[in-house]
Amino acid sequence: MLFRPVDGNSLVRATFEMHRFSNLLNHLRLVDNATRTERRLRDLLASIRDVWNSFHDNMAKYYVPSQNITVDEQLVPFQGRVSFIQYIPTKLDRYGINIFWACHASNNYPLRALPYLGRDTTSAKPSQRSQSVAADEVSLLTDDFY
């Protein structure tokens, strides 16, 4: 996606060779294989949870937002094998991981992000859960701001 000639990032193409990037991706490991299976039973994002949490913490550490926050979703193209992949036929890249973002409204600075891992059926009784996934995600993204 970064190296596409039409909609990719020209700065990445100019400074980083695609075969070098592919080589680094092939050798990069983000998970401890000894504990992966037991963590995956509890968390579908266990493979990258440590990196995700570090990214998430750094987004909020250096920026104090005003009262105007917007929430939206993004389909990040992905064709690997995960149980939470989404299919949206109207998008250019139809398969991907759906991420809900809370951003500062005036400059689009990302404040918080939550990947959609499927409906959570274990956290509350069915009568306490919202009927809308979007409403649940919005409340999780904005709880600390209001």
Tens digits of residue pLDDT in 85-142:
889 899 888 899 999 998 888 888 888 898 888 766 555 444 455 567 778 888 888 8
| Structural domains counted in the chain | 1
pTM: 0.68
DSSP-based three-state secondary structure for 24: helix
Structural domain includes residue 121? yes
Structural domain includes residue 111? yes
Structural domain includes residue 1? no
DSSP-based three-state secondary structure for 113: strand
C-alpha–C-alpha distance, residues 48 and 133, integer Å: 23
Tokens linked to 89: 């036929």
Structural domain includes residue 17? no
Tens digits of residue pLDDT in 42-79:
888 877 788 888 888 888 787 888 888 889 889 999 88
Structural domain includes residue 76? yes
Structural domain includes residue 34? no
Q: Establish how many alpha carbons lie within 13 A of residue 91's alpha carbon, considering only the half-sphere containing its beta carbon.
A: 15
The range of the structural domain enclosing residue 89 comes to 65-142
Helices and strands (H and E) in the chain: how many: 5, 4
pLDDT of residue 128: 52
Structural domain includes residue 84? yes
**Dihedral sign (CA 53, 59, 61, 66):** negative
Structural domain includes residue 85? yes
Q: Establish how many alpha carbons lie within 13 A of residue 17's alpha carbon, considering only the half-sphere containing its beta carbon.
A: 3
